[in-house]
Amino acid sequence: MKKHNFNPGPATIPPSVLEEAAHGLLEYRGSGLSFAELSHRAPQVMAVVEEASTLVKTLYGFGDQYEVIWMQGGASAQLAIAPMNLLDEEHSVALINTGYWATKAIKAAGEIGRVAVLASSEQSRFDHIPKNWTLPADAQYLHLISNETIDGTQWQEYPDVAVPIVADMTSDFLTRPLPLEKFGLIFASAQKNFGIAGCTCVVINKDWLHARKKRAIPTIFDYQTHIETQSLYHTAPTFPIYVACLVLRWTLAQGGLAVMAQRNAEKAALLYNEIDENPLFTGSVQSADRSLMNACFRITKPELEEVFLNFTGQHDVVGIKGFPTVGGFRASMYNALPLESVQVLVDLMRDFAKKY
C-alpha cells in the first residue's frame, strides 16, 4: 500500500513520473539501452538536458539573459560555489541567519570571502524571519534561504534591495511564481519538488555573472564552464536529470506554477488550521513566516511525542519526525503530495486529541 509520504527529501514523486521513469530505466524509447546506460553525450541524453532547461525557463518565464545549468553536489556545494563565482575580494556577501541552512551558508561563504550577517533569529529558535536590518554599502549580493527546510520558515515576499539576490530555493523551487528581476542566481537540488537526489538546477543571470570581477577558481567550479558546455563538461547525473525533466513536464501539464502555488496554499492552510485549533499541538513558527512546504509543530504533552509518531505510522503516515536538532514534528508538503494525504494527517491529529 502506498504511504502518505511527508518526508523532507528525498520526497514524494508523482506516480505517473515514477511509472515513466521505471520504463526509461529498463529501456529508453526503443534504444535497447536503459537511459542510465546511455552516454551523457548521446543525442537522447543531450535532448533531455536541453528540454529540462527549457522547461525551467518556461515555467518561470526566464528571459534570454538567464542560463540554466545542471550540477552535482547538492545545495551544500552551491553554498561554496556561488561565492567562488560571485564574490570578489573588495565586497562582502550579506546574509540573514534564518535557520540551519542559513547557518551553513554563513560558514561556507566565510571560507571564501567576507560575510556580513545582517540579523539572526537564533535566540528565538529560528521561529521567524528577521525584518529589521540594513544592507551594508559593500554588499555584492544578498544570500537568502528561500525556505528553511528544517526550521520551517519561508520568505513570503522577497525584500527590495539594491543588489541582486542569490537564493537557495532547494525546498520551494517550482512552487510559486517569482519576481524574477530581484534575482541574480537561484539554485535548488532536485529531491524535494522536481525529482530524485543527484542533480542540482542552477539558474544564472548571465549579464550579472559576466560583470563580476572574477577570482581565480578551479575550472570545474566555474559557472561559465558549465554554461559553455551545456552542463556536459563532465559526466552529468543523467538519470536524475531525466527524472527531473519528467517532473517538469508534469508540473507544466498540471497548469504551471500558479496552480502549484494554489494547491500548496490549500494544503498548508488545512494543516496549520488544525495545528492552531487542536489543543494538543502548537506551531513552531510565527504565523507570518510559516513555510508552506515544511510545517513544523510540537505536541503540548511531550511524553506523547513517540506515541503520536507510532500512531501515525500505524496509519501509513511517514516522514513527520522533526530534525534531530529541532525535535517535534515536521510535515513536508511538496508539489507532488496530494491534499488527501494532508487530510489523513489532520484526521489522525483530531482522533489522537480525542483519545489523549
User: What digits encode the pLDDT tens for the residues 205-251?
Assistant: 999 998 877 788 999 999 999 999 999 999 999 999 999 999 999 99
Q: pTM for the whole thing?
A: 0.96
299-316 residue pLDDT tens: 999 999 999 999 999 999
pLDDT of residue 215: 85
pLDDT of residue 210: 87
Q: Which class is domain 15-254? A: alpha beta
Residue reference for cell 504565523:
287
Establish whether 192 is a catalytic residue.
yes
* 3-state SS assignment for residue 307: helix
Contacts 24+ apart (CB under 8 A), 126-132: 126/98, 126/99, 126/100, 126/151, 126/153, 127/151, 127/153, 127/284, 127/285, 127/286, 127/289, 128/153, 128/285, 128/286, 128/288, 128/289, 129/96, 129/98, 129/153, 129/155, 129/289, 130/96, 130/97, 130/98
pLDDT of residue 1: 63
pLDDT of residue 253: 98
Omega within 30 of 0 (cis) for the link into 10: yes
pLDDT of residue 232: 93
Q: Which of 168, 172, 222, 289 is flagged as catalytic?
A: 168
Residue pLDDT tens, the chain, 356 long = 689 999 999 999 999 999 999 999 999 999 999 999 999 999 999 999 999 999 999 999 999 999 999 999 999 999 999 999 999 999 999 999 999 999 999 999 999 999 999 999 999 999 999 999 999 999 999 999 999 999 999 999 999 999 999 999 999 999 999 999 999 999 999 999 999 999 999 999 999 998 877 788 999 999 999 999 999 999 999 999 999 999 999 999 999 999 999 999 999 999 999 999 999 999 999 999 999 999 999 999 999 999 999 999 999 999 999 999 899 999 999 999 999 999 999 999 999 999 99
Q: Which of 101, 155, 208, 250 is flagged as catalytic?
A: 101
Q: Which of 155, 192, 208, 267 is flagged as catalytic?
A: 192
Delimit the domains of the chain by residue range: 15-254, 256-355
* DSSP per-residue codes, 173-204: TTSS---GGGEEEEEEETTTTSS-TT-EEEEE
List the CATH code of the domain at 256-355.
3.90.1150.10
Establish whether 101 is a catalytic residue.
yes
pLDDT of residue 312: 98
